[in-house]
């Protein structure tokens, strides 16, 4: 089978693209390791139009419900490992199978940047995590450390303030970044200690995390914590797209029509070089990418005659 469109990723960009594609009655396949993307990892969201307040998991659930209403074919639990183009067909290979389409939208988002400290790999999922929304409740009543100083770290700290006994925010720069409102909330937290100009050199423990070693001004010290949340940024999930042109950060280069350097391949959301990484921007880019893909298919006479109405 050859599809009209394959969408790689099911975060805000991918799901929005899928909804638009279904309404265009394209023969469609969505491939994604999970549903919801980074939206599902977010805490409280107060800047998504139409919702004065909604949690990340709740918004991700709304996205998924909308997509599922169209009975779209979804290969959940599969990750793209390669993409190639031959003649008019584009092949997407995953760890389980290969699929072909006349057009592809890459909306694979970003993945957490690793700390690179001693003991990180050893204690991953044994007290060290990259998602406060997913794993925060496990550390109720315990001392924890959030590593980072941007919005992701601030969001994690705000979530953990309501759960943990004490929250240490370890930030490598001279002062916290991120949104002023979030920064103020963290800095005023009664059970929060912000440690600026510090970097983590080691995560240690026995079977589980027992603490971290930090270095500031050439002085090393230990913090006794049972949970470590690494929130030092994200990197584009684009390594599989070897034929696609990227910038120095690994972001897929797209023009204002979401076109990449490969005809028939489009990009949307945080995996691209579009400025500002926000849920609402990713969703808008997903719709644009689908409309561009639909126009490409029609202009090249590639829409299949047996496309099914959803």
Q: Which fold has domain 2-112+234-299?
A: FAD/NAD(P)-binding domain (3.50.50)
- Say yes or no to pLDDT of 178 above 70: yes
pLDDT value of position 169: 97
Does 134 qualify as catalytic in the annotation?
yes
One of 3.40.47.10, 3.50.50.60, 3.30.70.890, 3.30.70.2190 is the CATH number of 120-230, namely: 3.50.50.60
Cα distance between residue 224 and residue 212, in whole Å: 7
pLDDT value of position 310: 39
pLDDT value of position 229: 96
Q: Where in the chain are the domains?
A: 2-112+234-299, 120-230
Cα distance between residue 173 and residue 61, in whole Å: 35
**294 neighbors 28 (Cβ within 8 angstroms):** no
pLDDT value of position 5: 98
- What would the pLDDT profile of 18-77 be if each residue is shown by its tens digit? 999 999 999 999 999 999 988 887 777 888 899 989 988 899 999 999 999 998 999 999
Does 4 qualify as catalytic in the annotation?
no
Provide DSSP, 129-188.
ES-HHHHGGGGTTSEEEEE-SSHHHHHHHHHHHTTSSEEEEE-SSSS--S-HHHHHHHHT
Does 256 qualify as catalytic in the annotation?
no
Helical pair 151-161 and 180-187, crossing angle rounded to 10 deg = 40
pLDDT value of position 251: 97
The band of 284, judged by pLDDT with boundaries at 50, 70 and 90, is very high
Closest CA to 31 of 240, 288, 192: 240
Q: Which of 34, 82, 131, 273 is catalytic?
A: 131
Cα 280 to chain centroid distance, Å, stands at 13
**60 neighbors 67 (Cβ within 8 angstroms):** no
pLDDT value of position 175: 94
Helix, strand or coil for residue 292? helix
- Say yes or no to pLDDT of 81 above 60: yes
**5 neighbors 49 (Cβ within 8 angstroms):** no
Closest CA to 231 of 72, 44, 42, 61: 42
pLDDT value of position 64: 94
pTM: 0.81
Residue 160 backbone class (left: φ over 0; alpha: ψ -120 to 50; beta: rest): alpha
- Say yes or no to pLDDT of 179 above 80: yes
- Say yes or no to pLDDT of 174 above 60: yes
The C-alpha angle 50, 188, 146, rounded to 5 degrees, equals 80
Q: Which of 82, 134, 206, 290 is catalytic?
A: 134
Q: Which of 34, 82, 135, 273 is catalytic?
A: 135
pLDDT value of position 135: 85
């Amino acid at each position: 089978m050859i599809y009209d469109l394959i969408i790689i990723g099911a975060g805000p960009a991918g799901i929005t693209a899928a909804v638009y594609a279904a309404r265009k009655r394209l023969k469609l396949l969505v491939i994604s390791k999970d549903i919801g993307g980074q939206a599902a990892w977010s805490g409280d969201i107060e800047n998504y139009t139409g919702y004065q307040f909604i949690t990340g998991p709740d918004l991700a659930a709304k996205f998924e419900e909308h997509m599922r209403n169209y009975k779209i074919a979804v290969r959940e639990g599969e990750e793209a490992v390669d993409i190639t183009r031959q003649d008019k067909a584009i092949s997407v290979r995953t760890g389980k199978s290969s699929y072909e389409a006349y057009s592809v939208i890459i909306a694979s988002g970003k993945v957490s940047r690793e700390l690179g400290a001693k003991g990180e790999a050893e204690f991953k999922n044994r007290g060290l995590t990259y998602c406060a929304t997913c794993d925060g409740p496990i550390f109720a009543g315990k001392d924890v450390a959030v590593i980072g100083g941007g919005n992701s770290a601030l969001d994690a700290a705000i979530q953990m303030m309501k759960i943990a006994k004490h929250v240490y925010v370890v930030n490598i720069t001279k002062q916290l970044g991120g949104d002023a409102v979030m920064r103020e909330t963290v800095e005023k937290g009664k059970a929060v200690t912000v440690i600026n100009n510090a970097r983590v050199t080691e995560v240690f423990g026995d079977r589980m995390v027992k603490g971290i070693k930090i270095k500031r001004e050439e002085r090393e010290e230990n913090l006794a914590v049972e949970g470590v949340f690494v929130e030092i940024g994200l990197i584009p999930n684009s390594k599989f797209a070897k034929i696609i042109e990227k910038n120095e950060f690994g972001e897929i280069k797209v023009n204002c029509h979401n076109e990449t350097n490969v005809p028939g391949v489009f990009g949307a959301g945080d995996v691209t070089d579009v400025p500002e990484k926000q849920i609402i921007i990713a969703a808008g880019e997903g719709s644009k990418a689908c409309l561009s893909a639909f126009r490409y298919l029609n202009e090249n006479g590639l829409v299949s005659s047996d496309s099914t109405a959803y």
